[in-house]
Every structure is written in structure tokens, then in C-alpha cells.
Amino acid sequence: MVLAQLGGSISRALAQMSNATVIDEKVLNECLNEISRALLQADVQFKMVRDMQANIKRIVNLEALAAGTNKRRIMQQAVFTELCTMLDPGKPSFTPKKGKPSVVMFVGLQGSGKTTTCTKYAYYHQKKGFKPALVCADTFRAGAFDQLKQNATKAKIPFYGSYMESDPVKIAVEGVERFKKENCDLIIVDTSGRHKQEAALFEEMRQVSEATKPDLVIFVMDSSIGQAAFDQAQAFKQSVSVGAVIITKMDGHAKGGGALSAVAATKSPVIFIGTGEHIDEFEVFDVKPFVSRLLGMGDWAGFMDKIHEVVPTDQQPELLQKLSEGSFTLRLMYEQFQNILKMGPIGQVFSMLPGFSAELMPKGHEKESQAKIKRYMTMMDSMTDAELDSTNPKLMTESRIIRIARGSGRPVRDVIDMLEEYKRLAKIWGKMKGLKIPKKGEMSALSRNMNVQHMSKVLPPQMLKQIGGMGGLQSLMKQMGSKEMSGMFGGMGGER
Ligand SMILES: Nc1nc2c(ncn2[C@@H]2O[C@H](COP(=O)(O)OP(=O)(O)OP(=O)(O)O)[C@@H](O)[C@H]2O)c(=O)[nH]1
């Protein structure tokens, strides 16, 4: 919720700036101050906000802003890039390998969600084929072992702990040794967390770490702790060598900005976020989609922006019309591929839309993806007009597929792949059926014409979850009114 408000504030600051007739130093500073205020309210640490402001000023060229048609985009891109840089410490964390024993130690204050997160982490890896085990080295909180035991039993994960032993180091060492003998490849050590950052707690962490020699220490942080995040994360980092961060309770009223601070303090990446109490409410953390959410951009708004930017103006009305009809033909796919290839780094476009980036364009494989798209287009060149313009997948019979394969000199498998890709995209685009798509310069139409049903269909599922599902979306729309919503979802696009 608060994340959405941050997005709204930043959108408004950017909108105000791009509405100004002359963009001079004063207007730019006002915009940056607005953005800084919004970030501070979202609990991003003061020093980080100040540095970011300075960096943006360096990146953004006033002359380009003054002359440019893309003021808002230039600024938005600068803010986006800066936040991504803050969240990316530049070095990936240790990742456990199947079949090779790894010890991962969890640290964090009491109530941060550490014990729950240990089980989520174990369960996540178990599903990926690991053989995880849990060790409860929390002898401080009565009931900690019971909690771990319960969680572990539910998830069918072996565990180790003791009701009698009071030395956490001893338990940790015994547990790790036992599970190494049992050929577990991911041994997770849960440690105690007192309610305060006390010297005794840090000394205990240090000793457990020294005795178990973990391959990775994960710092677990409750996302709602706000401005205290930086100091807390730093205190843990100073005692043990934290190599990764997990932020919990992202489903609540978290402002999210604390994550930035934790990364800065530990110089370690956020690897997962907790999005609920349930064992599978646990998501791999990706910097870019998170920042999109933090900025309230939403992938959808970004995608709309891209349509306006990439698709030639004369093709836009037709494309938007087809989108709103929900009829996605192979010809439409072909035309979009053409547009995408023209614009260069294709990753940027499709990554805006959920489902596109992962499958069609895995990160770091842009070249191969480009080649794949070209291959798809070659095959489509061998199709008839009727095939290209049909929305009926049943039309593509075996004999037609063989003919296309022969005509394009590609194996039949490739044609089938291309058609699968088309079906996948058609399904996503089909969700937009009936939605009034705003034209350039009338972005607010989006807010006037949308309803909860439509919004829930077009929002990326993660974003919808973040808002609190259908119920959350409904109350958000009621609460914020159409003005706010246009800022949130449409404000980044449209009039420039
Ligand atoms: N909503 C929500 N609740 C969570 C999440 N992660 C943990 N919790 C809840 O937070 C509370 C505290 O979690 P614990 O795992 O007991 O906390 P802890 O940090 O291990 O506490 P100690 O064992 O005392 O160190 C529990 O009620 C969890 O169900 C999350 O991602 N979302």
C-alpha cells in the first residue's frame, strides 16, 4: 500500500516537471526534492537519498531535458537506474549446489520472521531437488525449537535441536555434523534473536558462525522496521559475515525502502522476500521488478509507455484497437517483432510485460533471443494471409505445419515452438480484451475507464498480491480515487 503511495508521489513529481514550459535548474531541483521527500517517507535512509539526488543531477542533462520530448522518461529512467544500483551490490551471493554439503546460517532479531524463513528457504530448495535439514540453535527463546519442529515436520524436512542443552554452539555443531553424515546438501542453522541488538546476541552469533563455518550467513529483516534497517543490518554485518539478505512481511504495510538500506549496510544482495505466513509465500527477489513496484510503475504502465515509444505512430491506433478486442493474430505478433527488432535492446520491451521476459528472453541472452525472433519471422514468412490473420489456433493443422517447415527450411519442431509462443502471447494479450486503451496524450482515460476486474487482469500477479489481492485492489481504488490511480498506473506514460 505504502509502496503504491510512493509510486504516486514520484509520478506526480515527474508529471509536474514535464508540465513546466521551461525546464531550468529550479524546476529540476523541485522535482528532485519531491522525489527525495517521497523516498524518505518510504524509509529510505537519508544519506542514500542525498547521494541519489546528487547522482541523478549528474546523469540528467538539463539541456536534453529542456529540448527533449521525453522529459519524464529521462527522469524516470534516471530514478529507476539509481534505485537499481542501490539495490545491486554488484556481487552475487553464494548459492548452494545440489549434492555438495552447504551450511547456511540465519541471523536476525527476534520476531523478524527468521524461523519461518528458515523453513521457507529449506522448502524452496527441497522442491528444487535439494536435501535440506534444519538445526535449531536458538536456546534463548522458549518454544523456538517447538516452532521449528512443527514447521519442519509439516514440510517433511529433517530437523535437529534440544530441549535440554543450553549451549547454542554445541547444538549447532552437533546438528551440522549429523546432517553432513546423513548426506544432506543444505544444512540450515537457525539462531536466536533477542528483541534488542545486544552485545551478548552478537557474541553468540560470532561463536556459532566460527564453530559451524557457514558457507553463507543470511540476515533476515522485517520490512516494517523502517529507518532502523540500516543500523540493524550494519550491526549484524559487523559481527558475522553476512552474505545475503531476506526481507520478510512484504505482504503487510511495509514501506519497502528499508530493503535499500539493508543492502547498503551489508553490501549483500536481497535474495528472497517473504510475502506471507505460509511456507510457500516466498519469492525470489529480482531488483528490477521490485524497483518498478517501488516506483509504482507497474510493468503494465511501462509496457504501455513502450508501445507509445516503439510502435510507429500510424500503427498505434490499430494495435491498441486490436489489443482492446483481445484478438491477437500471428500477423500482429509478426508486426510487433518487427518493431522490437528495429528498436535494439529487445529485452527492455518485453520485460515490461509479465511472462514475456523469462521465457522469450532470458536475461543475458538477448542475442539468442533476437535470433529466435528472426527465426520465428522467417517461418511466418512462409505462412498464408489466412493463417496470419486467423485467431483460431485449430487452423494450424499438421499438414500446414509441415508445409511451413519445408517452406522456411526449418525443422517442424521449430514451427511448433513458434506456434506455442504465439499461443502464450495471445493468452496474455487476450486478458486485455475490453479494456479501453488510452491513446497518447489521454492517459487519464485509463483511470476513467478501468474497473477492478480489468485492473486485476492486467496487473502483474506479484503486484496484485502486493496490493492485497482483489480485496486490496478494490479498497485501494476506492481510497485513492481515480486521480491517484492515474498517477500510479498511467502517470508514467502518456503525455510527454
Ligand atoms: N505476514 C507475514 N508474516 C510473516 C512472514 N514471515 C514471518 N511471519 C510471521 O512473523 C512472526 C514471527 O516469525 P518467527 O519466524 O517466529 O520469528 P523469528 O524471527 O524466528 O523469531 P525468533 O525465533 O524469536 O528469533 C510469525 O507469526 C510468522 O508467521 C511474512 O513474510 N509475512
Q: Among residues 114, 146, 149, which one has the least CA distance to residue 134? A: 149
Atom of ligand 1 nearest to the CA of 147: 16
pLDDT average, residue stretch 90-108: 93
C-alpha cell at 189: 542453522
Whole-model pTM above 0.80?
no
Cα of 142 vs centre of ligand 1, distance in Å, is 15
H or E stretch at 265: helix 257-266
H or E stretch at 191: strand 186-191
Distance between CA 80 and CA 84 in Å, rounded? 6
Residue 166 phi, psi dihedral angles, 5° rounding: -110, -5
Cα of 111 vs centre of ligand 1, distance in Å, is 5
Query: Residue 201 is part of a domain; what is its CATH number?
Result: 3.40.50.300
Confidence of residue 490 (pLDDT cuts 50, 70, 90): very low
Distance between CA 172 and CA 349 in Å, rounded? 48
Q: Give yes or no for residue 5 CB within 6 A of ligand 1.
A: no
Asked if the structure places residue 489 within a domain, the reply is no
Q: CA geometry: angle at 180 spanning 176 and 186, to 5°?
A: 80
> What is the model's pLDDT at position 319?
65
Asked if the structure places residue 253 within a domain, the reply is yes
> What is the model's pLDDT at position 328?
77
Cα of 174 vs centre of ligand 1, distance in Å, is 25
ipTM value greater than 0.85:
yes
> Do 58 and 27 belong together in one domain?
yes
> Do 127 and 262 belong together in one domain?
yes
Cα of 198 vs centre of ligand 1, distance in Å, is 20
Distance between CA 455 and CA 435 in Å, rounded? 9
> Do 366 and 246 belong together in one domain?
no
Helix, strand, coil fractions of the chain, as percent rounded to 5: 60, 10, 30
pLDDT digits (tens, 9 = 90+) for 25-76: 788 888 889 888 888 877 778 888 898 888 888 877 766 666 655 666 677 7
Q: Give yes or no for residue 274 CB within 6 A of ligand 1.
A: yes
Confidence of residue 303 (pLDDT cuts 50, 70, 90): low
> Do 119 and 158 belong together in one domain?
yes
Cα of 182 vs centre of ligand 1, distance in Å, is 29
Q: Is the pLDDT of residue 237 over 50?
A: yes
SS (H, E, C) 103-135: EEEEECCCCCCHHHHHHHHHHHHHHCCCCEEEE
Query: Residue 368 is part of a domain; what is its CATH number?
Result: 1.10.260.30
Q: Give yes or no for residue 168 CB within 6 A of ligand 1.
A: no
**Please, which residues bridge with residue 283 across strands?**
273
Asked if the structure places residue 282 within a domain, the reply is yes
Domain boundary among 233, 264, 287: 287
Q: In Å, how far from its chain's centre is CA 70?
A: 25
Cα of 121 vs centre of ligand 1, distance in Å, is 13
Confidence of residue 256 (pLDDT cuts 50, 70, 90): low
Nearest CA residue ID for atom 13, ligand 1: 113
**Residue keyed to cell 534497517:** 229
> What is the model's pLDDT at position 65?
65
Asked if the structure places residue 458 within a domain, the reply is no
> Do 76 and 117 belong together in one domain?
no
Domain span including residue 31: 2-87
Whether the Cβ atoms of residue 202 and residue 184 lie closer than 8 Å to each other: no
Asked if the structure places residue 484 within a domain, the reply is no
Confidence of residue 177 (pLDDT cuts 50, 70, 90): very high
Asked if the structure places residue 304 within a domain, the reply is no
> Do 157 and 210 belong together in one domain?
yes
Atom of ligand 1 nearest to the CA of 273: 31
Asked if the structure places residue 454 within a domain, the reply is no
Mutation to probe ligand 1, out of 1, 109, 116, 119 (largest number of atoms < 8 A from CB): 116
Atom of ligand 1 nearest to the CA of 140: 24
**486/278: higher pLDDT:** 278
> Do 233 and 210 belong together in one domain?
yes
Q: Give yes or no for residue 112 CB within 6 A of ligand 1.
A: yes
Query: Residue 9 is part of a domain; what is its CATH number?
Result: 1.20.120.140
Cα of 258 vs centre of ligand 1, distance in Å, is 17
> Do 83 and 111 belong together in one domain?
no
Q: State the average pLDDT for the chain.
A: 76
> Do 6 and 109 belong together in one domain?
no
Asked if the structure places residue 74 within a domain, the reply is yes
Domain boundary among 384, 409, 430: 430
Sheet holding 186-191, edge to edge: 159-160, 132-137, 186-191, 102-107, 216-222, 242-248, 270-274, 282-284
Whether the Cβ atoms of residue 159 and residue 133 lie closer than 8 Å to each other: yes
Whether the Cβ atoms of residue 363 and residue 357 lie closer than 8 Å to each other: yes
Q: Is the pLDDT of residue 271 over 70?
A: yes
> Do 165 and 252 belong together in one domain?
yes
Count of the separate structural domains present in the chain: 3
**Please, which residues bridge with residue 300 across strands?**
none
> Do 118 and 170 belong together in one domain?
yes
| Half-sphere exposure at residue 218, Cβ-oriented, CA atoms within 13 angstroms | 30
Distance between CA 231 and CA 237 in Å, rounded? 10
H or E stretch at 219: strand 216-222
Domain boundary among 404, 430, 456: 430
Confidence of residue 117 (pLDDT cuts 50, 70, 90): very high
Q: Is the pLDDT of residue 471 over 70?
A: no
Nearest CA residue ID for atom 3, ligand 1: 277
Cα of 477 vs centre of ligand 1, distance in Å, is 30
Nearest CA residue ID for atom 1, ligand 1: 276
> Do 74 and 172 belong together in one domain?
no
Helix (H, G, I), strand (E, B) or coil at 320: helix
Cα of 149 vs centre of ligand 1, distance in Å, is 15
Confidence of residue 294 (pLDDT cuts 50, 70, 90): low
